[in-house]
Chain A
Amino acid sequence: MNIVVCIKQVPKSDNIQLDEQTGKIKRDGVEAVLNHCDEYAIEEAVRLKEKLPAKVIAVTMGPPSAQSILREAISRGADEGFLLSDKAFGGADVLATAYTLSQGIKTICSANIIICGKESSDGETSQVAPALAHFLNVACVPFVNKIDSIDSSAIKLERVFENGYAVIESTLPVLISVTKDINIPRIASLKGKMNAKKAEIKTLDISAINADENRTGLTGSPTRVANMFSAGNAHPVSCEKLTGDAKSMAKSLVEKLSAAGII
């Protein structure tokens, strides 16, 4: 069985800056790391591999530097890493990203299970996974927080809704996105780190994945950043700084809240 994990390199959180000219994330000089949610996707794939004969293949689309997160995936138990990298992939939105990933995955293997993290910390849209399911023409179960059982042709899982969860039975192949409640990711083992060090990361460009250049990158993206503006204070308020020691601050706050009828 082939389990594909889609992962993403993101700027280290809290340090994300936009280039106001292009509307794109500034990546130069910013430390890039494995997207947090993807750690759970890798862990779940590795857990499945422990249950049934399977190979775990990590795939990412990104610049050459994104090799590092594929190595990290291998250190955490993935068997192989593939980097989809080409200038023609740059500036992709959800649609173009999902298309490109689907072409890559189709080139690499016949996938039985595709696992994505719930969302990326830089885009926060949770939207690539279901779009990818469309291009791969596979069943799709987003927001999975538990896999109940699996065999070679079917999977039973639990997926989150606002007020509870639904039990879903799906045929394979299936694409799932996983929440952070699904597992507790292990840290990389020494053996894993050794594997990662010597692993060969294969890089695939646009022709290797047989992708249509009109459908990748910015060219293949129907959405455009029209402009950006400062969120600022939509409703400016008079900011009053309460001063003094904790006791006097507390006293004056309680007076104010009391005057406003709150306590």
Chain B
Amino acid sequence: MSIDFHTLPDAHGRFGAYGGVYVAETLMAPLAELTAAYERLRTDPAFIAEYEHDLKHYVGRPSPIYHAERLSRKVGGAQILLKREDLNHTGAHKINNTIGQALVAKHMGKRRIIAETGAGQHGVASATVCARLGIPCVVYMGAVDVERQAINVYRMKLLGAEVVPVQSGSKTLKDALNEALRDWVTNVEDTFYMIGTVAGPHPYPQMVRDFNAVVGREARAQMLEQYGRLPHALVACVGGGSNAIGLFHAFLNDADVAIYGAEAAGDGIETGRHAASLAAGRPGVLHGNRTYVICDDNGQIIETHSVSAGLDYPGVGPEHAYLKDSGRARYLGVTDAEALAAFHELARTEGILAALESSHAVAQGIKLARELPRDQLVLVNLSGRGDKDVHTIARREGLDLT
């Protein structure tokens, strides 16, 4: 019997055994308020029209599907197609979600927005929509990430946001999330928490997915229009998993479309220095939901490692946990070195600087295409552009651009 993947999550926010609402009591009320507001808005034609208008005229959607012909020829296997989310305003898929959540916040009458960010893409996307709404925006960012994503930090400041470096724990994305939750619990009355990925307590995994699902809806229609068929396989990078679920969702019930998530294997899964929650983690509870987490035998979350700040997260969206267990999607590790090689390959063959996050998907796409015949199509989500990463890449290659 086939599963209808479009019926999830259930009313409790569960995707099978995963998801749910695992937060302290104080946050139950604001989450219930948000769930009620979102349930009302998501089927409201006026709200949908407003959201779609913004996506078209402000974000610049639809984003094209581009046939990476030179890259495909060089790889010598299936044709590699790129869903160009890097061409969106602010340079990544993250804006799809913040446009949507900003509208929800506006309808709820919230006067202050907080967000967490890893690579800074979600922070920039949050600061952007807040500037447009004229609402104050506070972005929590791990101190380590502030250091390695200096350009995005400055972009957020230019957009009028306050960036708060988080000094606790491993000083990365997970700690930024903790700190944002602490802010929210302290300012529940007037503050809207804009989570940047498909994690966190219900309704976030559902809401963030719904706002990113435009990627897959568009892609599915574009494939049928441009190629007259669906792709053989989809590939997207998975940290928290928002761009991936955004691409995957419209295709989940298309059983013939294979689905691959590329997780950050860092120095290699066997070294322990990675961020591959699904490939190498275990079910647990983190940041308000049950999902796969990277932790030790005492249940303590372990510091993750990836060259890409946006994938450096020890959990993953609960829907991905469900897709893994159900066998609908496969999640594979891509190392730092493989991602960097793919970054250069794409730059030289196609003139596209991909984000380091997205370079993981490109690497996985290349591996997959190599194994497949030339007449097959592999659709890779190019979730963001790499301008923010040039300093990181230069540094790894021994150059100092400052």
Partners in one complex: no
Q: Which residues of B contact A (CB under 8 A)?
A: none
